[in-house]
Amino acid sequence: MRPLPPPEAVTAPAPLRQRSHGRIRLRMGRAGAATIVADLAESGPSRLRFPRTHGPMPEAVLVNTAGGIACGDRFEVGLDLDAGSDLVLTTNAAEKIYRSDGPASAILNRVALGAGARLAWLPQETILYDRARLERRFEVDLAEGAGLLACEIVMLGRAASGEVFTAGAIRDRWSVRRAGRLVYADALALAGPVAELLARSAIGGGARAFGTILDLAPGAEARIDEARALLDGPGDGLEAGASAWNGHLAVRLLGRDPDALRRCAARFLAAYRREPLPRVWQA
């Protein structure tokens, strides 16, 4: 991955600082009819918590004890689900990416699902502060019969405080392989005067938030009509659409109001999954 271009506002080298490196390594396995934690390693400010739930799948909540991600920080999640195991993974709060005076923050998420395993990857939104710089990768390997439902929402600027993401950078790459074959790839790169770029109708139409929901479970492509019906008339100045090909289904969300986009995504996920979202989403 090539580095992001240098920030225009930096006129002197950024000072050297101690940076955070958070890492999670989790493997879920089977014990009879139950999914259990087979192995867990945590380091830096990254922690996993497993609340008691009454849903059909166990739940893991990712916590960043640093309270956010600063320039030059690096966070990694490595998740393996053995054959037949299942999990819902979420975060305790929105992830905040702070303003950078030089280096980009980095997030690397790697997921491997064994045959018949199921993962609902449902972190809460990522908020980029003005002049934040982020490089993020989401890499997935699926065995035959495994199912992944993933949602990622990005908000540009702190809407509650009226902040506008005038400039900065984000590079976000997704790649999914099934049985070793690449079946989905997506890349987004925005850098420089981001607010000006997104104001253009051909790029963002003034959007301040966007989201992707990806279903790679068996039979996902056949649910396209259901997905479009759930997205019908999103309102609140949002644009939403669904498409399906190559055995999977993708939903795109784009909007001027970040909170409205989050609510739309939450409604869709609850209806599409036919069960409530993790409790932390409802706090």
Distance of CA 228 to the CA centre of its chain: 21
Confidence at residue 3, expressed as pLDDT on a 0 to 100 scale: 61
Neighbours of 196 (CB within 10 A): 11
Neighbours of 242 (CB within 10 A): 21
Confidence at residue 19, expressed as pLDDT on a 0 to 100 scale: 84
The answer to whether residues 22 and 45 touch, using CB atoms and an 8 Å cutoff, is yes
How does residue 11 score in pLDDT terms, banded at 50, 70 and 90?
very low
Element holding 119 (H helix, E strand): strand 118-121
What's the average model confidence in pLDDT over 37-46? Answer: 96
Strands 181-192 and 238-245: unpaired
Record the pTM: 0.92
Q: pLDDT tens for residues 102-156?
A: 889 999 999 999 999 999 999 999 999 999 999 999 999 999 999 999 999 999 9
Confidence at residue 10, expressed as pLDDT on a 0 to 100 scale: 44
Burial class (CB in 10 A: 0-12, 13-18, 19+), 239: middle
